[in-house]
Chains A and B, each alone.
Chain A
Amino acid sequence: DGGITQSPKYLFRKEGQNVTLSCEQNLNHDAMYWYRQDPGQGLRLIYYSQIVNDFQKGDIAEGYSVSREKKESFPLTVTSAQKNPTAFYLCASSLDARNSNQPQHFGDGTRLSIL
């Protein structure tokens, strides 16, 4: 089955620690996205990548970093500079970011909490 896999499902971060959230897709999609969702809120874009080895900041990139070394993978690192990291993180992909009339496909998220 094709889809997006996020891991882990739950993650705990200690003070001053960097943590990395995994996102893998086998849909052969070019574009991938990371969103943050706070309770009762919509999604806010952290970073996105339209093609391998390229990515752009979204609306709330401070305190986060990404890489896109492979088409299938788009890991997100939450750094110690992100002072309020507790949230639900969602990864998504779409077939071709150059064509705007495409839906996004989502993983089932990672819930990050501070210890």
Chain B
Amino acid sequence: SQQGEEDPQALSIQEGENATMNCSYKTSINNLQWYRQNSGRGLVHLILIRSNEREKHSGRLRVTLDTSKKSSSLLITASRAADTASYFCATDPDVYNQGGKLIFGQGTELSVKP
């Protein structure tokens, strides 16, 4: 079952611009995670934000979480061509109470043009 829906499905920007991706989900969660996937490779973990947190930063990445709206956003500032990848949100629904079982969204394909 797919819980996360990401918006937009594809995003094309110029180097130096900011990129914002959004994720909505349906059930209450323990945490929400963002991952990056380069073409033909595995996923790389970027940030984990817990349900009691509202904002988190890591380098050029900023993640927000609004549990009342069941939504999250990932902001990449001052984007670089190397940021070109697919970005996925994943939720850990607390209804499962099984720890670690994630549900992934369908991803946003980001293209950063030099």
Interface residues of A in 42-57 (CB under 8 A from B): 42-45, 48, 50
Q: Is B41 an interface residue (CB 8 A)?
A: yes
Interface residues of A in 1-57 (CB under 8 A from B): 4, 6, 31, 33, 35, 40-45, 48, 50
B100-A50 in contact (CB<8A): yes
Query: Which residues of the partner chain A approach B43 to less than 8 Å between Cβ atoms?
Result: 43, 90, 92, 104, 106
Q: Is A65 an interface residue (CB 8 A)?
A: no
Query: Which residues of the partner chain A approach B107 to less than 8 Å between Cβ atoms?
Result: 41-42
Query: Which residues of the partner chain A approach B88 to less than 8 Å between Cβ atoms?
Result: 42-43
Size bracket of the A interface: 20 to 34
Q: Is A109 an interface residue (CB 8 A)?
A: yes
> What mask results when residues 7 to 50 of chain B are scored 1 for a CB within 8 Å of chain A, else 0?
00000000000000000000000110101000011111100101
> What mask results when residues 85 to 106 of chain A are scored 1 for a CB within 8 Å of chain B, else 0?
0000010101011111111111
Size bracket of the B interface: 20 to 34
B41-A105 in contact (CB<8A): no
B42-A90 in contact (CB<8A): yes
B42-A106 in contact (CB<8A): yes
Q: Is B56 an interface residue (CB 8 A)?
A: no
Q: Which of A4, A33, A104 has the most CB of B within 10 A?
A: A104
Query: Which residues of the partner chain B approach A41 to less than 8 Å between Cβ atoms?
Result: 106-107
Interface residues of B in 47-96 (CB under 8 A from A): 48, 50, 88, 90, 92, 94
Query: Which residues of the partner chain A approach B33 to less than 8 Å between Cβ atoms?
Result: 103-104
Chain A interface (Cβ < 8 Å from any Cβ of B): 4, 6, 31, 33, 35, 40-45, 48, 50, 58-59, 90, 92, 94, 96-109, 111
